[in-house]
Amino acid sequence: MKATKLLVTLTALIAISFNGFCQQFQIKGKITDTDGQPIPFVSVFVKGTTKGVSANVDGIYSINVDRGIVSLTFTVVGFKSATHTVDVFDNIIVNKTLETEQYTLNSVVIKANGEDPAYKIVRNAIKNRKAYLEEIFAYSSDVYIKGVQKLVGAPKKFFGRDIQKTLNLDTNRNGILYLSESQSKFSYMKPDQIKEEMISSKISGRNNAFSFNKASDMRINFYENLLLENTGLSARSFVSPIADNALFYYKYKLLGKTEENGLIINKIEVTPKRKNDPAFRGVIYIADNIWRLMGTDLILTKDAGVNLIDTLNIAQHFIKIDKYYMPGNLKFEFNGNVFGFKFEGYFISFYSNYNINPKFEKGYFTPEILKITKAVNKKDSAYWANNRPIPLTEEERKDYIKKDSIALRMQSKQYLDSLEKANNNFTLNKILITSYSRNDRYDKRSYTFDPLIQSAFYNTVEGFAVKYGVTYRKRFEDNKYLTIRPEARYGFKNETFTAKLSTYYYYNATKRAGVGLNFGNEIADLNNYGTMSPLSNTINSLLFERNYPKFYKRDFISIYTQRELANGLQAYLALDYNKNYALTNSTLFKFRDYDDRAFTSNNPLNPADDAPLFSDYQSTAITASLTYTFGQKYITRPDAKIYTQAKYPRLNLTYKKGINGVLGGDTDYDLITFEAYQEKIGLGLFGYTSFVIGAGKFLNSQQVYFPDFKHFRANRATFFPPNLRKFRFLDFYQYSTNDYYFEAHLEHNFSGFILNKIPLLRKLKLEEVLGINYLNQPQKRNYTEYYFGVQRLVFGISYGFAFDNGKKVDQGIRFAYNF
């Protein structure tokens, strides 16, 4: 018995001792410079490991360590690295003061009219650029990302809404708009294999949301020639200060040298040779002899062509892992002013626990580049307090407390009802111009009423007419939703009333799957792609005596479904029944009568004769379509599957069969079409290219009526919404076909490559556009359009020429709007 008690006692003592030695403690403190000012985002690592944290913007850090002797290293660009050793047996505070790095030019002699010594250093860095770019075949690391966006000034009201109340700001209209954190395990293998699994996610005020933070978005490698392509920051890329052609874009100045860990570090100032070049300005740090980048502190401004923001600062600090140097942290800091809203913020990523050139098992990398599970946003505050590598600032902590408490209250029916009472207020502006909505957030449903300004219109078939619709939307769990839209239409001149109901149920977000049912009757455009909006046609008809659109009436029912069959392969299947009626003009009314023009008939093939285009008929058709994207990458979230921008072309194959005799169908045809397309193929500093190639043929055309012809996206209007597949001078109906066709569209956006070199024009940040449209079909052989112009954001102007078999048939100006 005594022996047993002794054994139990010894076991307990051993367990207590073991737990004591294995227990983790917290070292925290503040990092300042010699003047007592906080140093933001200092990297703090346990010496000899890749385990570490980063100080926040106020210089505060916190790291968990095991009991015993611990040495911490403190590193940040611009300050001398320091090491602090401490015996850890409890939670302790270690404040640290870092000395400013002294960069001297004592040993450097610059002769008059001579080249600055920085150029020799940069040339050596350029010479070694490719070797350092390719030296690491693969790696994995833990990545923590924090994003903060703040308003630091705003107007009192915007479109009549109180900004302070709407955005939950303080009395000075300042405050955090967005605060998020995420932790991920990130893996990479050349040439472009990526795998990321999000471990935890938190968004202030949105307890059930999933962060859109993505480690791959935070990757930037200055050893690459061109950077930030297809990010939306600019229409063009930016040249690295050590790119192969960097000497054409940059001026360099050696600011000084210093010694750090046995290496001589050169501090070099970089500035663009020309004010508006796509280049950075700021400082880079390059080590002597090995010619590696040791850090960057670079800025892009409006002069370089960035959009929406005024400045973007990219600060990167490298840490040594074995013989390699990897990013320790990377910060994107920005500010700007849009319509009086002054904003600033940053996204910072912190890397730890590197594994260089690991051997990934076969099949480890898949098209899924980011996986987010339901458990990601379930971590509590205790977890975050122990695991976030960058402490919250006091402002961020208060924002979490305030918005998370509001989020809890917002889940109650009483709160949501009170909120919607204010949002659902009826105003004349809503019902006339925008739209009036009634939302019920608690039951996740809404009703949206069309604005009246879109309801009244005019055409020569119906005369003055009205149409009105209401959209009902019900949201369910896992991003499922149901929409139901009834719509009615009445023409006062032809005294015709039509009504239809459209429904769609999106039942599987991860499979991009839905099913729809539409039925009723409507006045439809003879070109199934449409010609122009009712408002545009009203203006053209009443003011300019141009009635471009042609209409017919149809009774219809349509059942369709779509679903992803495999990654990148989307299927669509539809069954349609139509009873179609030809229509004629019922009025020739206009506000202004032109002597040199007259309204045309509603028969597009015989503009002078208003005889019906076709006899009434019934049509039963089935349509099957497959769309495939090569190498499609995607993100998996609990509520959706998100495709990323395709690197390769997308292909579409469609087969449509008009079935004779089924449900009284009078048509008999087989149409097969193929299309390949890709948008925004990056060409570096020369902008990007987009293209579409399409071809098709009626394999059988025993009985095809005009509404079932193959139509094209044509245009005759001076003002039009652009589309890559859209012709700019082609008649809407004349060249529709029931035989074969081939069309091609190519457009290149130079992204300011030319106009940026013209002093007065460069400030407008215009993008030069050059394009070609081509069509070949039995009645229109070798029809070609050439156009050139400029665009900026949602507006564009171009001048083009149209040639039919080498003969010029049209030319003119086109204004594009994309809203």
The pLDDT value recorded for residue 20 is 43
Q: How confident is the model at residue 246 (pLDDT cuts 50, 70, 90)?
A: very high
Residue (of 700, 695, 782, 780) closest to 738 by Cα position: 700
Beta carbons of 63 and 26 less than 8 angstroms apart: yes
Question: Which pLDDT belongs to residue 284?
Answer: 95
Query: What average pLDDT does this structure show over 212-240?
Result: 86
Q: How high is the pLDDT of residue 21?
A: 44
- Model confidence over 69-86: pLDDT tens digits? 999 999 888 888 899 999
Higher pLDDT, 585 or 322: 585
Distance CA 187, CA 138 (A): 8
Other C-beta atoms closer than 10 Å to the C-beta of 604 total 19
The two three-digit tokens of residue 512, written as one number: 């991009």
Given this model, what pLDDT does residue 159 score? 64
The phi, psi pair for 349, rounded to 5°, reads: -115, 135
Phi, psi at residue 760, to the nearest 5°?
-75, -30
Give the integer Cα–Cα distance in Å for 121 and 119: 5
Per-residue pLDDT, 755: 85
Whether 2 has a pLDDT exceeding 60, the answer reads no
Structure tokens at 605: 């093939």
- Amino acid (one-letter) located at 373: T
Q: Is the pLDDT of residue 686 over 80?
A: yes
Q: Which of 167-181, 642-656, 733-747 has the lowest mean pLDDT?
A: 167-181
pLDDT, tens digit (0-9, with 9 covering 90-100), for 261-297: 888 999 999 999 988 889 999 999 999 999 999 999 9
pLDDT the model gives residue 208? 66
Torsion angle of C-alpha atoms 419, 421, 423, 428, degrees rounded to 10: -170
For 642, left (φ over 0), alpha (ψ -120 to 50), or beta? beta
pLDDT in tens, 151-181: 888 888 776 666 766 677 777 778 888 999 9
Distance (Å, whole) CA 455 – CA 390: 54
Q: What one-character-per-residue DSSP string does 79-147 give? A: B--EEEEEEESS-EE--EE-PBP--B-TT----TTPPPTHHHHHHHHHHTHHHHHHS--EEEEEEEEEE
- Tens digit of pLDDT for each residue in 467-483? 999 999 999 988 899 99
Backbone angles phi, psi at 158, to 5 degrees: -140, 120
* Percentage of the chain lying above the pLDDT 70 cut: 92
| Low-confidence winner among 128-132, 462-466, 637-641 (lowest mean pLDDT) | 637-641
Residue 414 is predicted with a pLDDT of 65
- Three-state secondary structure call for residue 61: strand
Q: Provide the pLDDT for residue 423.
A: 67
Q: Which of 7-11, 419-423, 750-754 has the lowest mean pLDDT?
A: 7-11
Query: Is the CB of residue 267 less than 8 Å from the CB of residue 285?
Result: yes
Q: Per-residue pLDDT for 146 more than 90?
A: yes
- The C-alpha atoms of residue 378 and residue 374 are separated, in whole angstroms, by 8
Lowest mean pLDDT among 191-195, 211-215, 426-430: 426-430
Give me the mean pLDDT over the 754-777 stretch: 87
From first CA to last CA, the distance across the chain in angstroms is 87
404-415 tens-digit pLDDT: 777 766 666 666
283, HSE (Cβ side, Cα atoms, 13 Å):
16
CA angle, 600 then 604 then 610, to 5°: 55
Query: b/e per residue, 771-810, with b = 16+ CB within 10 A?
Result: bebbbbbeebeebbbbbebbbeeeebebebbbbeeeeeee
Determine which of 366-370, 424-428, 560-564, 746-750 has the lowest per-residue pLDDT on average. 424-428
What's the one-letter identity of residue 625? S
Q: Which of 299-303, 456-460, 753-757 has the lowest mean pLDDT?
A: 753-757
pLDDT above 60: residue 789: yes
pLDDT at residue 10, as a whole number: 42
HSE of 45, CA atoms in CB hemisphere, 13 A = 20
**Domains, in order of start, for the chain:** 21-97 (2.60.40.10), 129-408 (no CATH), 682-819 (no CATH)
Higher pLDDT, 313 or 426: 313
The pairing of strands 311-321 and 92-93 is unpaired
What is 244-297 written as a DSSP string?
A: TTHHHHEEEEEEEEEEETTEEEEEEEEEESSTTSSB-EEEEEEETTT--EEEEE
Higher pLDDT, 11 or 79: 79
Query: In angstroms, what CA-CA distances link 608 with 286, 367, 376, 589, 592?
Result: 77, 57, 67, 17, 20
Q: 402 Cβ partners below 8 Å, 6+ apart?
A: none
Q: In this predicted structure, what is the pLDDT of residue 253?
A: 95
At residue 294, φ and ψ (nearest 5 deg) are: -110, -10
pLDDT digit string (tens) for 530-581? 999 898 999 999 999 999 999 999 999 999 999 999 999 999 999 999 999 9
* Confidence band, pLDDT 50/70/90 cuts, at residue 111: low
Dihedral of the CA atoms 245, 248, 251, 254 (nearest 10)? 40
Query: With 70 as the cut, is the pLDDT of residue 370 above it?
Result: yes
Q: Does the structure show a pLDDT above 70 at 7? A: no
Please, is 603 exposed, middle or buried when counting C-beta atoms within 10 Å of its C-beta (0-12, 13-18, 19+)?
A: buried
What percentage of the chain exceeds 90 in pLDDT?
Answer: 59
Supply 113's token pair: 């009219």
**Taking each helix axis from N to C terminus, what angle separates 413-423 and 394-410, rounded to the nearest 10 degrees?**
100
